[in-house]
Amino acid sequence: MASIRIDESRWPLVVISWPAEELDDDAVEAFIAASEARLARRQIHLSLHDGVRAGGISSRHRKQLAEHARAVEPLLREYMVAAAIVSQSALVHGVVTAINWLTPPVFPQKVFSDAAEAETWLGNQLERRLRVYR
């Protein structure tokens, strides 16, 4: 069974590594549960999605992730600072486009081919957000 690896050791940066294998129901449900747990903390955070090795995701799972985003939209709007997706794959770009078409993100989101550029952009997004709170 493929699982989505979630690393919170660099909080508020959450690194999410997508597997090469297609996801099954358990993996998607575990990802959604982890997302809900992060949002329940009511702390701002950012996500770096490592999609370098990412495989496919079914249309059913794309719809499930979009529905989850809609359900938690107020919390995402308040606590998700930004999300960066790292991938050079046209497939991954297509998946991101499809999910965003179903549910446009309520936070800044950008796709990068380089992880260092993605982290720099996320850092800038966090600084901008923190200036708003000062």
State the Cα–Cα distance between residues 129 and 1, nearest whole angstrom.
37
* Number of domains the chain is built from: 1
CA distances from 117 to 2, 13, 47, 60, 112 (A): 27, 14, 14, 31, 7
State the Cα–Cα distance between residues 116 and 120, nearest whole angstrom.
6
Residue 20 CB-density burial (10 A; 0-12 exposed, 13-18 middle, 19+ buried): exposed
CA distances from 4 to 71, 75, 103, 106, 127 (A): 21, 22, 21, 22, 28
Provide the pLDDT confidence category of residue 52 given band limits of 50, 70 and 90.
Answer: low
User: pTM to 2 decimals?
Assistant: 0.87
pLDDT at 133: 64
Residue 77 CB-density burial (10 A; 0-12 exposed, 13-18 middle, 19+ buried): exposed
Provide the pLDDT confidence category of residue 1 given band limits of 50, 70 and 90.
Answer: low
Look at residue 102 and tell me whether its pLDDT is greater than 90.
Answer: no
Helices 90-102 and 59-71: angle between axes, nearest 10 degrees:
50
- Residue 121 sits in a domain whose CATH number is 3.30.750.24
Average pLDDT over residues 74-100: 87
Which domain range does residue 85 map to? 5-133
Provide the pLDDT confidence category of residue 95 given band limits of 50, 70 and 90.
Answer: confident
State the Cα–Cα distance between residues 77 and 64, nearest whole angstrom.
19
Average pLDDT over residues 90-98: 77
